[in-house]
Structure 1
Amino acid sequence: MISFLKRFLIGRPLKSTELGEQKLNKKKALAILSSDALSSVAYGPEQILIVLVTIGAAAFWYSIPIAIGVLVLLTALILSYRQIIFAYSHGGGAYVVSKENLGKYPGLIAGGSLLVDYILTVAVSISAGADAITSAFPSLHEHKVVIAIVFVILITILNLRGVTESASVLAYPVYLFVLALFILIGTGLYNILTGNVPAELHTSLGTPVAGISLFLLLRAFSSGSSALTGVEAISNAIPNFKSPEASNAAKTLIAMGALLAVMFSGIVVLAYYYGIAPRADVTVVSQIAEQTFGRNAMYFFIQGTTALILILAANTGYSAFPLLAVNLAKDKFIPRMFTMRGDRLGYSNGIIILGVLSMVLIYVFEGKTEQLIPLYAVGVFIPFTLSQTGMMVKWLREKPAGWMQKFIINTVGALISFIVTMMFFLTKFTQVWPVFVFLPILLLVFHRIHKHYEAVADQLRITTCEETIKIEGNVIIVPVAGITHVVMNSLEYAKSLNPQQIIAVYVPFEREEEAIFEEKWRKWQPDIRLVTLYTPYRSIVQPLTKFIDTINWKAAELNHRVTVIIPQFIPKKGWHNILHNQSSLLIRARLLFRSDVIVTTVPYHLKK
């Protein structure tokens, strides 16, 4: 049943030779890797207005110069990540750049920040998509968390089916969203140019506003820069592209940057001319669409595509998180299970972990994007800053042809990214303080995992001088619970090993029971020694381990090794296990961590 459900949900297993078929062309890659960045236009401009509204509607004109600043940063990031794509065509993005140019720990800070950021990508995108749905259908507002979690599950399953299959599904909603936004922006600009938008809805550019300050403008700029999250995803996912990978990734990055610039600028301009103010229950894009078209089919088309891309923008996280996890796992900083490909040739463990953690975040934060976005944005601007700085070091060290121009691009990007990061810390500390908790914890976890892998490799290496103990004999202990086919099966196996001695051990809880069992054993297996360990405390494991200690001490003097063979019957159906005492599991769990005892389980499979 489980196997059938798995095949139904994720499809048939793919051969390793079919990996090439799972690569993305530019059109599909733009949809699957740019959806996060493109979808951020649905909430990035709104974040600017949320800051400016604290001064008043008269300050909304400042959104125009702030948007220009965001576009300057976008240009610097696009040009910089284009350089990273060609310099590090094997992928890894900010983690690899920072590690190779700034050192191990800056690399781990960048990698850890991005891992958390991709989890937040899923949580923020899905939550924002649920907001768009509840804006159009207010009666669903109280079910927003459930709606968000259902969408996470669906997208997780979609990604488990494989990269190309998920890209094929996601391409249509992404391009429909781009079409919808272009129609909205084009119609809105036409209304403005033809005088259909009343001038009294907005204040003129340059209007003096009391209470405005450079600090507040920088705060609004840093908030608006949240629209740039997801720009780095393409540089992390270069291995997903068809050949030539680097060239195709660079072209996709430029296309994404151009689309993002046009749509972000258009929404900011329309919001300014329409005099849109941010509201808790309705998004800015929803208000613009309603004023442009009214609450008709076109409005619901825009809201529908916006909700879809916000939800499907989570797929950027599903594309980039597993590949980043692979790089960290190859460097032995996170478990190696992240390097394993699943049935559909995707990195299934990374996909599943990402889905689970994002659902936890949505539940904890109750799907409130305004609480997640600052933490989400600062989590990506830290790697932005480190990767730009790393590229500066690279150009200074290597000085290839044209390095000065590249150095200037990265310097501008690093400087602006650093300013944005500092503004988040200064203005939204109450929302981003968890960064100072989870980053040190992540670094500690990375360090401990790496230390473990190094220790394991050192101990397993044959060239180490650790002395191998010569085994000259074997003593087998078989815990028995009765005279059954299960016990007989284990005893026959024990005899086949030709040990020096076989000892059956029975642990009775009553004296009468002890005598009866000894009499039965003498008649059934007279050639095998039986030891009974009476205990009034109803514990099997403790007296058994004490007896093993005694035998082990005697066996060690003769260079004999003690082997414990545990009989275990396997029910025909899995759920039958809950109907039986799992004594064999308890014994095995206690003995597996002992280096002086070999533990073997001999299964006996029931037929009905």
Structure 2
Amino acid sequence: MPGKLKRLLIGRPMKSTEIEGEKLSKLKALAILSSDALSSVAYGTEQILIVLMAAGFAALWYSIPISIAVLGLLTILIVSYRQTIFAYPSGGGAYIVAKDNLGLSPSLLAGGSLLVDYILTVAVSASAGTDAITSAFPVLHDHRVLIAVFMILILTIMNLRGVTESASILAVPIYLFVVAIYVLIICGVINYFTGGAHAAAPEFGKTISNVSLFLLLKAFSSGCSALTGVEAMSNAIPNFRQPSDKNAAATLMMMGILLAGMFIGISLLAYWYGIKPAAEETVVSQIAESTFGRGTLYYIIQGVTAVILILAANTAYSAFPLLAFMLAKDKFMPHAFMVRGDRLGFSNGIIFLSILSAVLVMVFQGNTENLIPLYAVGVFIPFTLSQLGMMIRWIKLKPAGWMLKLFINTVGMLTTLSITLIFIFTKFSQIWVIFIFLPLVVYMFMRIQQHYSNTADQLRIDLFNEKPIAKGNTVIIPVAGVTRVVLNTVSYAKTLSDNVVAVYVGFDDESVRKIEQRWNEWNPGVRLIILKSRYRSILGPLRKFIDTVEWKKAESDHITILIPQFITKHWWQNLLHNQSSLMIRAYLINRKDVVVATVPYHMDR
């Protein structure tokens, strides 16, 4: 049954030779890898307005110059990451750039920041998409956590089906969102200039006494949340069709143009319409209602906005497994992240990402405002490290035109470093946890790498001087009675060694007498050793017996423990039996010089 359900949800297994067909065209890649950045227009302006509202409605005009400054930063990042794509066409983004130019610790910091950011991307996207749904249907507001977790489950299944298939499905709503937002902007602008806007905008350029530099910087840093996801193209270059670097760079430019137009358009409409951020309704919802009323177009815009906010997580589902693969390849993450699933995707990375993001949604109760600052600062750290790494690369290699390239990355580094510092100073109360969590992530990477290094050292052999040593084998069979399961195990044991003993641990004289009588009547040609347990423990007497045999046979024989175990036909039948064989195996498997094996006997009814 589980196998049939898996095939129904995920589809047929794919051959390794089909992997080239899983590569993305520019149009599909734009939909999948830009969904995070494009979706941020639904909450980027809102985050600016939330901060400015602390100074009152009249301060909302500052959202326009702040939005223009955010677009300037977007331009710097697009140009900088375009250079990164051509310099590192194998992908990896900030992690690979930092590893190549800055060293181990900065690369792990960049990689850890990006992994955390991708987890936050899914959590924020699911939460923000749920907010859009509950804005249109307020009755669902109390169920937002359940809705967000359900959306993550749907995305998980879609991505487990493979990159190309999910891209084909998800491209439609993402492009619908782009069209819907541009229709909203065009109609909203026409509506404003024809006198259809009902709310008056606050006076532009009016000096507000309680607006401080600190407040403006905080609003700017909040608006920079619209730039998350820009780095995804450079991380996921291997997902593109050939020539992958050129296709990735072209897709990055297309994304930048679309994002810039939508972001400034929403910011202008929010200002012109005098929109105030509200807990129960998003800014985009208010603009759509002011432009179209609560009619069909309003619900279409809210629907596609909700869909893309949820689908924005697909950027993370494309980039997280690839980055986890690269870290695992360098032995900083478990090797399980290097394994491709039935549909040629890195399934373990997809599932791990989904579980952690769902936990975040539940912990933060689907509150987007609490998640976004963590989400944004998590990406500006690798932004800065990537730009710094590229600066060092140009200085070291000095290729043709390197001075211009160095200037671009220097401007990018100084800008993103400034944004990171602004985040730290203006939102420290919301992001302090990341300064505890990121060092723990880097420490975890180091410990994993150390384990793999130690394992390799201990497993490595001298091919010329170390050869297998032939030794005897003493086989010990723990038995609970005279049954077909024991018969099966004794039969197998005799194929391994002539030195086989059965061990029975008895709790009382009556049980000992019965087993001795039956064993003698059966006479399997194997000696039965009786151990008595005054404290009703099987493991204690068995351990002492193995210690005795091990001491006597250490130099001459291997010691093998064969554990009889019957396997029920149905899983639920296991619950009706004690699991002493599993307990014995779990206890003995950690003994250094003992081989432990299970001999199964399968029941047929």
TM-score > 0.5 by shorter chain: yes
Q: How does 1:356-371 map to 2 (within 5 A)?
A: 356-371=355-370
Distance 2:509 2:466 in 1: 46
Of stretches 123-132 and 210-219 in structure 1, the one that deviates more from structure 2 is 210-219
SS state at 2:500 partner: strand
Distance 2:23 2:580 in 1: 49
Q: Report the residue type matching 1:57 in the other structure.
A: F
1:47 shift after superposition = 0.7
Residues 32 and 316 in structure 1, CA contact (< 8 A), matched pair in contact too: yes
Distance 1:495 1:464 in 2: 33
Of stretches 108-117 and 525-534 in structure 1, the one that deviates more from structure 2 is 525-534
**In the alignment, which residue of structure 1 is the partner of 2:511?**
513
Q: How does 1:199-348 map to 2 (within 5 A)?
A: 201-348=200-347
Q: Report the residue type matching 1:11 in the other structure.
A: G
Residues 374 and 428 in structure 1, CA contact (< 8 A), matched pair in contact too: yes
**In the alignment, which residue of structure 1 is the partner of 2:102?**
102
Q: 5+ residue gaps in structure 2?
A: none
- 1:21-47 superposed Cα distances (whole Å, 9 cap, x missing partner): 111101110001100000000000111
Residues 364 and 371 in structure 2, CA contact (< 8 A), matched pair in contact too: yes
Distance 2:463 2:69 in 1: 59
- 1:432-456 superposed Cα distances (whole Å, 9 cap, x missing partner): 0111111111111111100000111
Residues 184 and 289 in structure 1, CA contact (< 8 A), matched pair in contact too: yes
1:121 shift after superposition = 0.3
Residues 385 and 413 in structure 1, CA contact (< 8 A), matched pair in contact too: yes
Q: Report the residue type matching 2:72 in the other structure.
A: V
1:206 shift after superposition = 1.7
- In structure 2, relative to structure 1, the CA distance for the partners of 1:232 and 1:561 (3 Å cut) is same
Q: How does 1:12-31 map to 2 (within 5 A)?
A: 12-31=12-31
Distance 1:454 1:105 in 2: 17
Distance 1:466 1:537 in 2: 49
**In the alignment, which residue of structure 2 is the partner of 1:183?**
183
- 1:198-225 superposed Cα distances (whole Å, 9 cap, x missing partner): 6x71233321111222222111111100
Distance 1:468 1:214 in 2: 73
Q: 5+ residue gaps in structure 1?
A: none
1:99 shift after superposition = 1.2
Distance 2:169 2:474 in 1: 61
Q: Report the residue type matching 1:45 in the other structure.
A: T
Residues 475 and 497 in structure 2, CA contact (< 8 A), matched pair in contact too: no
The 4+ residue runs of structure 1 with deviation greater than 6 A are 464-469
Distance 1:279 1:573 in 2: 54
1:160 shift after superposition = 0.4
1:423 shift after superposition = 1.3
- In structure 2, relative to structure 1, the CA distance for the partners of 1:13 and 1:379 (3 Å cut) is same
Residues 471 and 560 in structure 1, CA contact (< 8 A), matched pair in contact too: no
- In structure 2, relative to structure 1, the CA distance for the partners of 1:526 and 1:161 (3 Å cut) is closer
SS state at 2:208 partner: coil
**In the alignment, which residue of structure 2 is the partner of 1:585?**
582
Of stretches 405-414 and 523-532 in structure 1, the one that deviates more from structure 2 is 523-532
TM-score, length-scaled by structure 2? 0.98
Q: Report the residue type matching 1:311 in the other structure.
A: I
Distance 2:396 2:60 in 1: 45
Distance 2:523 2:330 in 1: 55
Q: Report the residue type matching 2:601 in the other structure.
A: Y
- 1:337-367 superposed Cα distances (whole Å, 9 cap, x missing partner): 0010000111100001111111100011000
**In the alignment, which residue of structure 2 is the partner of 1:495?**
494
Residues 217 and 426 in structure 2, CA contact (< 8 A), matched pair in contact too: no
Distance 2:496 2:272 in 1: 87
Q: Report the residue type matching 2:589 in the other structure.
A: L
Residues 471 and 561 in structure 1, CA contact (< 8 A), matched pair in contact too: no
- In structure 2, relative to structure 1, the CA distance for the partners of 1:477 and 1:448 (3 Å cut) is same
1:468 shift after superposition = 6.6
**1:541 aligned residue (539, 542, 550):** 539
Residues 40 and 228 in structure 1, CA contact (< 8 A), matched pair in contact too: yes
SS state at 1:601 partner: strand
SS state at 1:201 partner: coil
Distance 1:468 1:511 in 2: 49
1:465 shift after superposition = 9.8
- 1:29-78 superposed Cα distances (whole Å, 9 cap, x missing partner): 00011000000000001111111111111111111111111011100110
1:172 shift after superposition = 0.6
Residues 197 and 290 in structure 2, CA contact (< 8 A), matched pair in contact too: no
- 1:167-204 superposed Cα distances (whole Å, 9 cap, x missing partner): 01110110000000000101111223334336x71233
Task: Confirm or deny that 1:600 pairs with 2:577.
Answer: no
SS state at 1:268 partner: helix
Of stretches 523-532 and 108-117 in structure 1, the one that deviates more from structure 2 is 523-532
Q: Report the residue type matching 2:382 in the other structure.
A: P
- 1:245-272 superposed Cα distances (whole Å, 9 cap, x missing partner): 1111111000000000000000011111
Residues 474 and 497 in structure 2, CA contact (< 8 A), matched pair in contact too: no
Distance 1:469 1:563 in 2: 17
How many equivalent pairs are there? 605
Distance 1:239 1:523 in 2: 69
- In structure 2, relative to structure 1, the CA distance for the partners of 1:371 and 1:466 (3 Å cut) is farther
- 1:211-248 superposed Cα distances (whole Å, 9 cap, x missing partner): 22222211111110000001111111111111111111
Distance 1:288 1:166 in 2: 31
**In the alignment, which residue of structure 1 is the partner of 2:118?**
118
SS state at 2:345 partner: coil
Distance 1:463 1:421 in 2: 51
1:319 shift after superposition = 0.6
Distance 2:524 2:227 in 1: 79
1:467 shift after superposition = 6.5
SS state at 1:569 partner: strand
Residues 22 and 164 in structure 1, CA contact (< 8 A), matched pair in contact too: yes
1:466 shift after superposition = 9.4
SS state at 2:78 partner: helix
Distance 2:55 2:501 in 1: 85
Of stretches 207-216 and 295-304 in structure 1, the one that deviates more from structure 2 is 207-216
- In structure 2, relative to structure 1, the CA distance for the partners of 1:43 and 1:464 (3 Å cut) is farther
SS state at 2:45 partner: helix
Distance 1:175 1:497 in 2: 66
**In the alignment, which residue of structure 2 is the partner of 1:133?**
133
Distance 1:80 1:575 in 2: 58
Distance 1:583 1:427 in 2: 58
* CA-atom RMSD in angstroms: 1.3
**In the alignment, which residue of structure 2 is the partner of 1:51?**
51
**In the alignment, which residue of structure 1 is the partner of 2:377?**
378
**In the alignment, which residue of structure 2 is the partner of 1:504?**
502
Distance 1:570 1:527 in 2: 26
- The sequence identity of aligned pairs, in percent, is 62
SS state at 2:34 partner: helix
Residues 570 and 603 in structure 1, CA contact (< 8 A), matched pair in contact too: yes
SS state at 1:531 partner: strand
Q: Report the residue type matching 1:522 in the other structure.
A: N
- 1:86-115 superposed Cα distances (whole Å, 9 cap, x missing partner): 111111111111111111110000100111
Distance 2:332 2:410 in 1: 29
SS state at 1:188 partner: helix
Distance 2:523 2:73 in 1: 83
TM-score, length-scaled by structure 1? 0.98
**In the alignment, which residue of structure 1 is the partner of 2:479?**
480
Q: Report the residue type matching 2:450 in the other structure.
A: K
Residues 458 and 464 in structure 1, CA contact (< 8 A), matched pair in contact too: no
SS state at 2:205 partner: coil
1:471 shift after superposition = 4.2
Distance 1:291 1:123 in 2: 29
1:409 shift after superposition = 1.1
